[in-house]
Structure 1
Amino acid sequence: MGEASEAGLDTEVFTARWHRSWPTRIIVDGTVVRRIESPPTSALYNRRFARQVLQTIQENRARLDLIYCDALDYAATTIVSNLSISDRPPLVLRYRQSYSNRSGALPRKSLDTLRKCERIIASSASDHRQLLSLGIAEDKILRQPDCIAKQVQRDDESRRSARIVLRNANYDLNVAGSNKIVLCPSRFADSEDAKAIASAYRFIDEHEPVRIWLTGDGPARPQISDCLRQAGIHRSVITPGVFSSPIELLQAADALLIPPSLEGIQWFLPTVIASGLSVMLPRESARFLAPEMASLLSPCFYDPASSVELDSLLRKWQSSPATLKNIATKARALLPQRINFDALWSLIR
C-alpha cells in the first residue's frame, strides 16, 4: 500500500474477519484495514458475507473512486454480479491462474466477472496469455507484478526480538539461539504439504536443531497433525496456526519452504528474496515466475512427488547455507522495483 500512497491514492483495505478474536479494525503501515464478519466458508456464510460486502460498498460509495480485488474470488464475483457500474466505482481485478485448477477452464460466473470488471491485472505472461485465450480484450489487461517486495529487517537484534515475541505468543515457537528455522506457509486444505515435509523425515531426524514452522490453518489440520505424528517428526515440525502479521516470522526464520500447494509464492517469496533468506520451491512454481527468475532459482527447486529431493535440498541448505542464500541475493536484482499506477487514473472519475 505504500506505493499506492506515494502515487496519490488514499487506500483502505476490506477483508474477511477469519477469527473471532481478531479486531474488526486495525491500522497497518498507516493503512486502515476493516474486517468483514462471516468469512465465506460455507453456503450460509457465503450469503452473509455477500450481503456484508455489498452493504460495505453501499455505505462507503460516496468516498470510493476505485475498487481493487486481489483475486478472482467470492468477493469479486459478488460485487460484479450484484452491482452495475452505475451503482459502484470501477473495479480492478488481479488475475492469477488457479494453482489448484490449471486446465484453463473457468466457471461461467468467474468468466462473467472478468468480462464485466473495468480492468484486469495479469501477474505474469502466462496469466496474460490465458486472459487473451478467454476472450478478454487486450486493452483491458494490465501487466503488473504481484507486489513490490520490501526488505524485512533481519539484523541480530531484530531476530532475537522476533523470536522472543513469537515465544510469548505461542510457546511452541520457543527455540534456542542455535536452532535453524524453516518457515513453510500452508493452506491446510489437504495433507499434501505435510506429506512433502514428511518425505524429508530422515533429514529432520538427523538435524534436531532444525525446526520447520508449518503456518496456517484449514480443514485438513487434523489429518496434517496425524501425518506428522506418523512420520515421527511432530516435535520438529510445528503447526502454530495463523498470524495477523508475518513480519516476526520472517525475522526469526532462516529459510522459506514453499509447499506443493504453492502457498506463499505471491507475497512470501518476493519478500523473502528481498530480505536475503534462502528459498526452496516446488519445481512447478517455475510456471508462475518470470523466466529469468525461474532459471536463477532452479537449483532451489524440488519435486514433491520424489521421496528424496526435498530431503536432499534441505541437506544442501544445512551443509552449505551460503549457496542458496547467494542465489536469493542474485534474485533480488530481478524483483520489480515499482508499480505503474498511470493506467488506473483514467478509471477514477
Structure 2
Amino acid sequence: MTSLRLALVTRRFWPLVGGAEMVMANLAEELTQQGHQVQIVTAQWHPDWPKQITHRGIPVIRLPNPSVRGWGTVRYMMALGRWLRSHEQDLDAVYVSMLKHSAVVATSRFLNSNVPVVLRAEGAGETGDCAFHESANFGQRIRRSCQQADGFVAPSQQIFDEMAAAQFDRDKIRFIPNGVKVGPLKTDVQRQEARKALATANPILTLAESAPLVVFTGRLHPGKGLTKLVRAWPRVLQRFPMARLWLIGEGPQEGELSSMIGAMGLQSRILLPGAFDTVEDVLAAADAFVLPSLHEGMSIALLEAMVANLPCVVSDIPGNRILIDPEETGLIFPVDEIDRLADQLIRILENQDLSRQLGTAARKRVIEHFSLKRNAEDHVALFHSLMETKRLR
C-alpha cells in the first residue's frame, strides 16, 4: 500500500499520559516506522508549553486551549477547525481519539471532503464515550455529529456493542483491538538493572532486590478501583512484609489516594511516583501487575504488562476477560471482593511456578493477537478503504 499522510487528533497528549494518549503515541510511532507521514494535533493545556514539539520523532502541534471552563473548549474547537481547513490538501485521512469535541470539529469540517474522518471510541460502561453522550452538556448533539463520520474504530467488543446500541451505523464500525510493541523477553539480570535504574532516577523507588513488587499503571481515576487495591494491601503485607505496591500514573484521584495511604500508615509500602513517559523499566522491575478496574474497554496497560511476561491479577469485567483467561493467562477476582483480590496477589507472589506459567501464556497471547504492528496495518487498511469509497462517490 502507498504511504499515507495522516493527522492523529487527541485533545490530551504527552505530558498528560493515560491509556488513550498512549494508544495514539504508540500508533503514531508504528505508522511512521511503516513509512507513513504522521503528525499529532492536540491541545496546549498550559500557556508556557511550546506550540510545536517532537515526541518519539513525531511532530506534535498544540492548539490554544485556555483554562477557562467552557471557553477553553470553544477556543480549542475553533483552532482545530482552522488547522484542519488549512491542511486539508495535505492529508489523506484524519483519525480522532474519543467521540467528543475533537470528533465534532473533524466530522463537520470534512463532511463534504474527500478526506475520510475516522473516530476511535474510548472506554466502556460508565466512563466510556457513549455514556458521556448521555450525561454531558450537548451530549446528544455531539453524538449526532459524530455519527456522520466516515468510519469508527471500536477497540473492544463491549465498545462495539455500546456504539451499535447508540445508533451508530454498524457497517461503519471496525473492531480493531489495541496493540502493543513486542520487545525482547526480560531476564533476571534485566530485572535487577531496571530496579537500579529506577532507584537512580528517583530515590523513593529504591527497594531491596528480594522485595516483591506489584505495579499498577494507568490513570488514577475512581473507575480504576484503586481504593479497593489500597484496602487489600495490608493483607498482602501480612504474608509478605517487604512487598511494595507502586501506583504509576496521574489523575483526579491522586489526592484521595495519597490521603488514604497516609491514614492507613502505608506511606512506605504504597508509592504514587507520578506518570512515566514509558513504563518499560517499571514493568521490567516488577514481579506482578494488578488492574482492579470497575470498567475497561481494552486496557493498553494490561496488554503492556502481559507482553512484559508479568503475571496479572485483574477484576472480573468484560474488558479484562477479552485478554485474561482465568488460571491460564492471569488471575481474576470479583470486582467488589477485596479479600479475594488480596488472595490472588498472594498466590502470585508465593507461587513462582504459577507466576512464570501465567506470564509466559500472557505474553504468547499478546504476540499472537495484539501486536502493535498488526494494529497499525489494520488501521492503514481501513484508511485506504474509506479513501477509495470517498473517491468513487
- TM-score of the two chains, using structure 2 as the length reference: 0.75
Task: Tell me, yes or no, if structure 1 residue 312 matches structure 2 residue 351.
Answer: no
Q: 1:45 aligns with which of 72, 75, 79?
A: 72
Displacement of 1:312 in angstroms is 0.4
The 8 Å contact of residues 249 and 272 in structure 2, kept in 1 or not, is answered as yes
1:125 aligned residue:
157
Are the equivalent residues in 2 in contact too, given 1:258–1:264 (CA < 8 A)?
no
Aligned-pair distance for 1:308? 0.5
CA distance in 2, matches of 1:260, 1:96: 15
Report the Cα offset of residue 133 of structure 1.
Answer: 2.6
CA apart distance, 1:317: 1.0
Whether 1:268 aligns to 2:296 is no
Q: 1:253 — aligned with what?
A: 286
Deviation string for 1:239-258 (max 9, x for gaps)? Answer: 01112222222222222111
- Structure 1 gap ranges (5+): none
Q: Deviations over 1:243-285 (max 9, x none)?
A: 222222222222211132557952121122122111111111x
Q: Paired residue for 1:342?
A: 381
What is the CA–CA distance in structure 2 between the aligned matches of 1:346 and 1:21, rounded to whole Å? 40
Q: How many residues align?
A: 345
Matched position secondary structure for 1:130: helix
Cα distance change of structure 1 residues 100 and 324 upon mapping to structure 2, 3 Å threshold: farther
CA contact (8 A) 1:185 1:264 kept: no
Output the TM-score relative to the length of structure 1: 0.83
Q: 2:116, 2:383 within 8 Å by CA — same for their partners in 1?
A: no
Q: Which piece of structure 1 moves more, 326-335 or 31-40?
A: 31-40
- 1:88-237 matches, within 5 Å, as 89-101=115-127, 106=133, 107-151=139-183, 154-190=186-222, 192-237=225-270
Contact 1:50–1:75 at 8 Å: present in 2 too?
yes
Q: Which of the residues 54, 69, 72 maps onto 1:26?
A: 54
Cα distance change of structure 1 residues 5 and 202 upon mapping to structure 2, 3 Å threshold: same
Contact 2:296/2:320 (8 A) holds in 1: no
Which runs of no fewer than 5 residues in structure 2 stay unpaired?
Answer: 1-26, 134-138
> 1:301 corresponds to which residue?
332
Q: Which residue of 1 aligns with 2:7?
A: none
Q: Which amino acid counterpart does residue 306 of structure 1 have in structure 2?
A: E
Amino acid at match of 1:77: V
* Equivalence for 2:89: 62
Name the CA distance, whole Å, in 2 between partners of 1:329 and 1:41: 49
The 3 A distance-change label for structure 1 pair 139 and 233 is same
1:240 alignment counterpart = 273
Q: Are the structure 2 counterparts of residues 346 and 133 from structure 1 closer, same or farther at C-alpha, using a change threshold of 3 Å?
A: same
Give the secondary-structure state (helix, strand or coil) at the position aligned to 2:365: coil
Task: Report % sequence identity.
Answer: 21
Tell me how far 1:5 sits from its aligned partner.
Answer: 3.9
Pair 1:327–1:63, CA change in 2 (3 A): same
Render the CA deviation track for 1:159-200: whole Å, top value 9, x for unaligned: 344334433433221223222221112433349413332223
For residues 149 and 268 of structure 2, the distance between their equivalents in structure 1, rounded to whole angstroms, comes to 48
Q: Which moved more, 1:326-335 or 1:208-217?
A: 326-335
Identify the residue that residue 98 of structure 2 maps to in structure 1. 71
Q: Distance in 1 between matches of 2:93 and 2:235?
A: 52
Q: Secondary structure at the match of 1:45?
A: helix
Deviation at 1:221, TM superposition (A): 2.0
Aligned equivalents of 2:168, 2:106: Cα separation in 1: 19
CA RMSD of aligned residues (A): 3.3
Between the aligned partners of 1:261 and 1:206, the Cα distance in structure 2 is: 26
Distance, in Å, in 2 between the alignment partners of 1:147 and 1:121 is 13
Q: Is the 8 A contact 1:196 1:260 kept in 2?
A: no
Q: CA offsets, 1:302-338, max 9 Å, x none? A: 2242231111011101101331431232233333252
SS of aligned partner of 1:11? strand
Partners in 1 of 2:328 and 2:44 — Cα distance?
A: 35
CA contact 1:124–1:289 (8 Å) conserved in 2:
no
**Between 122-131 and 100-109, the greater mean CA deviation after superposition:** 100-109
